[in-house]
Each structure stands twice: as C-alpha cells, then as structure tokens.
Amino acid sequence: MSLYSYTFMLMTFGMSLSLLLSVPSSAQAENIVFPKDAGIVNVREWGAMGDGIQDDTPAIQKAIDAHPNRNKIIYLPNGVYRISDTIRWSRGPRGGSEEKRIILQGQSEKGAILKLKDRCPGFTDPAIPKAMVWTGEKPAQRFRNSIRNLTFDTGTGNPGAIGAQYMANNQGTFREVTIRSGDGQGVIGLDLGYSDENGPCLIKNVRIYGFETGIKTRHAVDSLVFENIHLEGQKRYGFHNEGQVSSIRKLRSVNAVPALYGEAGAGMVALIDSVLTGTKGAGTHPAIRNEAALFARNLRVSGYAEAIHRAVPGKPGSRGVLEYVSHPVLHLFPTPRLSLKLPIRETPTVPWDDLKEWASPSHFGAKPGDGVDDSVAIQKAIDSGKTTVYLPNGTWEIGKTVVLRGNVRRFIGTEADVHPIAPLLERKEPLFRFEGGKHPVVVMERFSTGFHGGPFYFLHNAARRTLVMSSVSVNFQGAASYHNSGTGPLFIEDVVGGDWIFMNQPVWARQFNVENRGTHVMNDGGTLWILGYKTERGGTLIETRGGGKTELIGGFSYTTEHGKLAPMFVNHESSVSLTIGESWFNRRDSPFVELVRETRDGVTRTLKIGEAPGRTGGSMLPLYVGYKE
C-alpha cells in the first residue's frame, strides 16, 4: 500500500450493471422545438442553410454577434451546418464583458450537426490547435453560457482541430452533445482548460469519439462537474485533469490508453460509478494514472495492467475499485473510514410536450419588459390546464407569489429574466411557491432572476411531490434562495443562488453553486447528496444537524472573505462525508481556519488548518468522515 493510500479493494460483490454500464443518452426528447413567440434566434433567419453544402460560418456568427449578453437561445434546426472557421461568442461593445449569456441550442443531438470542412485551412496543424466553437475566456464572468443538443464533427484531415473550447461560470451547461472526429485525428474533443477561471458548470450526457485527448481540464479554479460521459478511441488520454477540481460520475471510457490522468499539482478528482474498459494495447497501461488528489468509488475496470497507478499494484484483468483515497482519511471521532454512500437517484425528466400543450402569460395579455406586474398573467397560464408554461425571452415582473400547481409539469423560461417587484417585496413573500398538483414530477428550468437586498427568498416548497430545478440563476444578494415545509424529493442541477435551508427533505444536487454570506446550506434532518459544490464568500458552507446525512462528492471553496469567521463545515449530532478543495488568493482576508466542527454525544471537536493537506493557499479534504457505525 502506498504512503497515502487508505483503501483499495478488488470488487467481489455484484455491482449493478444497470447502474454502471448505462450509456449516456439524451434524457429529454430528441425534438427540442419552441413556440414562435418564445424569442428564439433561429440561424436559418440569419442566412444559414444547414444543407451541408453552403458555408454557414458567417450566418451563425452574425446571429451570435447581434445578441451579446442577452440570454438568447441561438437555435439550429436539424441539418448539417458546414463551417470553415471558429464560431466565437461575441465580445460586444464593452471589449470582452459580453462573452456570456449565450445559449447554442440544437433541435436534436443527432439531427443538428456542426461539421468542419475537410482539410480546412487553420485546422491542419496540431502545434497550433483551433476550436470549432469558442465561448470566451477569463475573468470568471462567462455567466450562463450553454451548448445543448448538438453534434460536433471535425471532418477529416483536420489534425489541429478541437471540438469545443467551452467556458461558463456560476451557471452554464454543456449537455446532450456528441463530439466526433471524422478520421480519429484532432487535439482535444472538449477543451475546458484553455483558459483559467473556468467553472463552475455542468457537463452532462456527452459522447466524444477520437482525438488525442477526449476531455482536458486545467487550472486551480473554479471547478467542473461531469455526469454520464462516454469517451472512446482517444490516442493519449481519455480525460486529462491538470490542477482543476473535477467531480465525475458515470464516466465510461473505452480506450487503449489511460482513461484518466490526474497530473501532479493542485488537481483534485472525485470519480464514482464508472466503467473503464481497456481495449487492445491497454494491458501495458493503468486505467487511472494519478499524481494528485483522488477519491474513487465503485469503479469497474477491465483490460488494464492495474486500476490505479501509484496506488496499490493491481494485475491485468483486475475487476475494479470499491473505494480508494489518495490521502489519509480525516476524522475527529471513531467512525468508519469509508464515505457515507447515500443512495443516489437520477434526476427525473418529463416529456418535451407538443407545442399545443404550451401556454404563456403573453396569451393572457402580459408583455415582457413593459414594467407592468405580470404575476396575474403568469398564474393564469399555469392554471390554464396546459402541461408546459413558458416565459418568452425578456424580463418579467412579479409582484405576487406565483404558485406552481395544477396540470403543469414544466415551467421553462426560454432563458428569460424574472424580477420581483412591490408589493411582493414589501410583504417579504416568496417569488414562487410549489404546491400539490396532477403530475408527480415538475421541472422548473432555464431562467434567471436577480434581487439586491433583503430579506427575501426565491422559492417556498410546500409539496410532497418531486421538484427539479435545472439551469436556474438565483442572484439574490443578501436574500435566501429556498425554504421548504413540504418534504418531497428535490433535485438541483446547474443552479446558482443564495442560502438554502432543507428541512427533513431528500435532496440530490449536481453543480450546486452557493455564494452568500453566513451559512450557505442548512441540512436539518434530511439527506443531502451533492456532486460538485462550489462556493464563495465567508460563512459555513454546509451545516448538518437534526440527525441529517450529508455526502459531498467533489467541492470547491473559493474563499474570498475571512475564513476565520466560521467553520467550513458543521456536523452537529449528524452524519457527513466530505470531499472538497479550497483556493485562497486574497491576502487581505484569510482561508478557513476551522475546517470541520463536529459535535457527537455532546462533545465538540474541531479539525483546523494545518491538520489537513494544503491546496493553493487553503486546505483540502480528500475525504473527511463523521458518522457512527
């Protein structure tokens, strides 16, 4: 056993193949269409043909350039869009600050194809790589950038090609996307390390075929989250992490080269529920080559010389890893030296309805951006009996709590803005209230809202049924995001907001970004599972009490205020397992001094800075555990 290994076990148990061997798929319908009045920017109306013959680069670029920083969906109906140069997010009139709030959306992953011209000038030299799509660079202001339901095809004879150089901050997603090389050549399929300060964002349901490296991540901030990733046919590495905090679930790699390389440095990878299959030639390689921090769990490995290099020597054909930690497991009380292993549930989906089942407040007399209270019209749309309610792109004013109820199963913003106004603010009422209704699952997604001041909160959940919050920005400084009296399951995907209070509720979160002052998240008596948690500002990141259970798999604390003012985590007579890395660069403040304050049976103990490994001026918890047998 290596110096820092804690546990490495070959799996002898019957792991569910349905869990580990599932192939990523487009969870929602393969026909993403919107109403004509939704405010979508259709590239066909800007001259793109999608016939695979015309060069559509100028038309697509023109559509993007005309809508910088507008929360606009740049929409590609099914077709083959031939391009000959990089499609770039617009800089806008302020010299770079507008490389954000742009959503490139295809009608379907299989049907909407961006195809690079074969042997395209500028893409033929691997020493000077060039991307098909580029979405901005540092500083970390690339809010809400997203790419959805598309295929990238780098064609043939383009060894210098990169599929996409993607950057988003706070809230943004790259999902239901295939990136393929027509001849296997190319530098990187998905380049997430070309610029510093990338993330947090969610990469989900992505397939990459060919290239030297499938996915590349780099730099010490701001964390990246991956789920349902398929990598195949790479020539050097499937996934190369250099310095970044990367949280990965359900990675499937089919390769003759290492599936994952964690390069030495500040990098920290949490990898769970994955299948790493070595093809011909893999017998001389490890499945994972690790030189940095690594937490790995439930890995099925075959065809490689060993599962994890620099861990415990394995042997060809070794079956996998039950649980492995690259550093000593941290704890304050007698506790199992393994993660909590809370049950994991997939984020539910609802059907993408036929447009005849869509209703909008504009159908009831409201108009975005006119400064008039739209809450009555929004409520009428919800109560109309339609299953999808949409807010056309623009700004909607809400002066009275909007109740999600009745027959609605999808509340979608088409990237609209929602703004609270009086008298709702004067009464300190929630912007939305979720109640009972006909459907067991309701999705609210793809909008942003902002409010500066408080006290105020975004959503009161009073239901026993399931709520999914997806791709939502809740920018309430000094205000709360969520309270609940109902105890139905809650799923959070790609959401940024203020403080959250979960009372006796089961919660599953992926790419959860909380940036308030004071306690960020309170889990009181519930079960909270998080894949990828990014935070800023001072205050406790998660407090668990009331017998609650919290499992954090991959977190990142960007400590920008005095960490000495509160412990990073509080575990009060409850159960936790935590994997997180910290970065601290602001010399005027301090990193977290108390990392974990845990109380068990009336006795309180504290894990302090210096008692855990360091990371970029702060600390790192490769795995902290605090729970009873």
Contact at 8 Å (CB) between 206 and 182?
Answer: no
Look up the pTM and report it. Answer: 0.95
Asked if the structure places residue 28 within a domain, the reply is no
Radius of gyration of the chain (CA): 24
DSSP secondary structure, 30-69, as one string: S-----GGG--EEGGGGT---EEEEE-HHHHHHHHHTSTT
What phi, psi does 119 have (nearest 5°)? 50, 50
Domain end, chosen from 497, 523, 552, is at: 497
What pLDDT is recorded for position 476? 62
Establish if 348 belongs to a structural domain: no
* 121 and 83 Cβ atoms separated by less than 8 Å: no
Task: Reduce the DSSP state of residue 20 to 3 states and report it.
Answer: helix
Q: Do residue 458 and residue 525 come from a single domain?
A: no
Residues 585 and 485 in one domain: no
Residue 271 phi, psi (nearest 5): -130, 120
Contact 459, 501 (CB under 8 A): no
Q: In terms of domains, do 538 and 396 share one? A: no
Instruction: Give whole-number Cα distances, 29 to 32, 283, 356, in Å.
Output: 7, 39, 16
Paired tokens of 428:
């300190």
DSSP state for residue 336 in the 8-state scheme: -
Asked if 473 and 101 count as a contact pair (C-beta separation under 8 A), the reply is no
- Six-digit token string for 610: 């210096």
* Same domain (yes/no): 394, 285: no
448 and 546 inside one domain: no
In a shared domain, residues 423 and 317 = no
Instruction: Measure CA 261 to chain center.
Output: 21
Question: Per the structure, how many domains does the chain have?
Answer: 3
What is the distance between the alpha carbons of residues 485 and 621, in angstroms, rounded to a whole number? 33
Regarding whether 591 and 459 lie in a shared domain, the answer is no
Residue 33 in domain: no
User: 117: domain range?
Assistant: 40-325
Domain annotation covers residue 1: no
Closest CA to 584 of 616, 622, 541, 536: 616
- Report in angstroms the alpha-carbon separations of 331 from 137, 312, 576, 584: 39, 23, 10, 23
* Predicted pLDDT of residue 3: 32
Q: Is residue 53 part of a domain?
A: yes
pLDDT for the residue numbered 188 = 98
Q: Does residue 449 belong to any structural domain of this protein?
A: yes
Please indicate, yes or no, if residue 29 is contained in any of the structural domains. no
Residues of the chain with pLDDT under 50: 1-28, 312, 315-317
Q: Give yes or no: residues 491 and 516 share one domain.
A: no
Beta bridge partners of 331: none
Where a domain ends, among 451, 468, 497?
A: 497
Cα–Cα separations (whole angstroms), residue 270 to 201, 329, 359: 16, 14, 42
Domain identity same for 490 and 516:
no
Helices then strands (H, E): number in the chain? Answer: 4, 46
Per-residue tokens: 149: 């339901």
Backbone angles phi, psi at 250, to 5 degrees: 60, 60
Specify the CATH number for the domain of residue 402. Answer: 2.160.20.10
Residue 25: CB atoms within 10 Å: 13
Cα separation, 571 vs 449, whole angstroms: 32
435 is written with which tokens?
A: 């109640």
Domain boundary residue, one of 452, 474, 497: 497
- What's residue 97's pLDDT? 66
Identify the pLDDT of residue 453: 57
- pLDDT at residue number 207: 98
Report yes or no on 339 lying in a domain. no
In this prediction, residue 16 carries a pLDDT of 36
Phi, psi of 219 (to 5 degrees): 80, 160
**493 and 516 fall within a common domain:** no
Rounded Cα gap, residues 461 and 448, in angstroms: 18
* 131, 262: one domain: yes
pLDDT for 7 equals: 39
- Residue pair 175/205 in contact (Cβ under 8 Å)? The answer is yes
376 and 283 fall within a common domain: no
